[in-house]
């Protein structure tokens, strides 16, 4: 297996920032993962698993360990019933391609997660979600290499401790597992309205009243294309901040000052507020800060227009988060992980 040295991370992350990785290697089968990890750990070399680089940030100093690029392929039907179909996808598969293939099969459950960049193995890490769907709703289990025990393991959905844009892979077990495949159970039933507001508004405006997974996918792709810049053309990591989660008493206070504040009810009694709306109210939407542009169509997105260092991005994100905190007394959280 080839191991490369001093590879610029800015070439492998969609924000196009970051210094060199000390080592970089690719794995193309689950069997390759254990030996390369054992070898690195035996030499006290830390490991960071990288998929498509679309939800990670690299620092100017680079990474003093091994960047393990997950390129494990695979797509197969492992179970089929009159009601649903169970799919197993390799962790290195392009996520949107997985969605495209399942939609072509007439399956529902991840069609609203269309056009999200990255790999299938990265999807459970942050519990990706969009337009009313989350990967946690369809993920049955996943296979992974456990660096702590030197074993290949199967983790069930409940083992992943999924929550809003979070899982054990970002929290209690960060850096422990290398996901090698994911298994999803998808429905054969047609999607039913009402849909997530932005999606429902799109259908109402377009006069669409007949719904299939392909109709949902096409609509989501169109909406995302309008709101989110292509990272190949304008370097970004998609939504830079998570949507804000507030308690009932906080929302009551906020509504006294901002009666039109948009909210979404959560099952646990709390409320989600679109962070893009919060940022927009601070007046920063469309502004250029240290070479980082707050997107004029979606204030959740930070675009690297001319920044040349992570410190430029750091200054911009602190200014945006600080403005929201000072205006609303809400601390917003960053969505992308950092390679450290």
Which residues are designated catalytic? Answer: 165, 239, 335
Distance between CA atoms of residues 255 and 15, nearest Å: 35
Contact 174, 199 (CB under 8 A): no
- Tell me if residue 175 falls in helix, strand or coil: coil
| Cα 255 off chain centre by | 30
Q: Give, for 143, the enclosing helix (H) or strand (E).
A: strand 139-146
- Residue partners of 30: CB distance under 8 A and separation at least 6: 72, 143, 145, 152, 180, 181
Kind of pairing between the strands at 63-70 and 47-50: parallel
Distance between CA atoms of residues 246 and 273, nearest Å: 8
| Cα 127 off chain centre by | 7
- Tell me if residue 235 falls in helix, strand or coil: coil
Distance between CA atoms of residues 340 and 335, nearest Å: 15
Q: For helices 213-227 and 197-206, what crossing angle results, to 10°?
A: 100
Distance between CA atoms of residues 171 and 47, nearest Å: 16
Distance between CA atoms of residues 228 and 297, nearest Å: 8
Angle at 40 between CA 39 and CA 45, to 5 degrees: 155
Structure tokens given for 160: 């992943």
């Amino acid at each position: 297996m080839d191991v490369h040295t001093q590879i610029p991370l800015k070439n492998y992350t969609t924000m196009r920032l970051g210094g060199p990785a000390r080592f970089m290697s690719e794995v193309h089968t689950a069997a390759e993962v254990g030996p390369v990890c054992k070898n690195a750990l035996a030499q006290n070399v830390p490991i960071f698993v990288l998929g498509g680089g679309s939800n990670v940030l690299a620092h100017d100093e680079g990474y003093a360990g091994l960047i393990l690029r997950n390129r494990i392929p695979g797509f197969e039907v492992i179970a089929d019933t009159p009601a649903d179909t169970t799919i197993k996808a390799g962790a290195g598969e392009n996520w949107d391609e997985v969605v495209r293939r399942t939609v072509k099969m007439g399956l529902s459950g991840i069609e609203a997660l269309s056009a999200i960049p990255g790999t299938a193995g990265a999807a459970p890490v942050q519990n990706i979600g969009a337009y009313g769907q989350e990967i946690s709703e369809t993920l049955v289990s996943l296979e992974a290499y456990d660096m702590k025990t030197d074993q290949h393991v199967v983790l069930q959905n409940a083992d992943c401790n999924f929550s809003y844009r979070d899982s054990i892979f970002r929290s209690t077990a960060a850096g422990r597992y290398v996901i090698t495949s994911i298994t999803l159970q998808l429905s054969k039933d047609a999607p039913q309205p009402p849909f997530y507001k932005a999606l429902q508004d799109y259908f109402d405006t377009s006069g669409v009243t007949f719904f299939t997974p392909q109709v949902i996918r096409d609509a989501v792709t169109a909406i995302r294309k309008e709101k989110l810049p292509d990272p190949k053309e304008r370097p970004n990591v998609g939504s830079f901040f998570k949507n804000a989660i507030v308690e009932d008493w906080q929302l009551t206070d906020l509504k006294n000052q901002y009666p039109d504040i948009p909210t979404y009810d959560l099952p646990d009694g709390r409320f989600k507020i679109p962070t893009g709306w919060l940022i927009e109210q601070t007046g920063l939407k469309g502004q250029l800060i240290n070479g980082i542009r707050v997107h004029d169509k979606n204030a959740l997105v930070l675009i690297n227009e001319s920044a040349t260092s992570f410190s430029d991005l750091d200054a911009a994100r602190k200014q945006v988060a600080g403005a929201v905190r000072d205006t609303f007394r809400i601390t917003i959280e960053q969505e992308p992980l950092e390679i450290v």
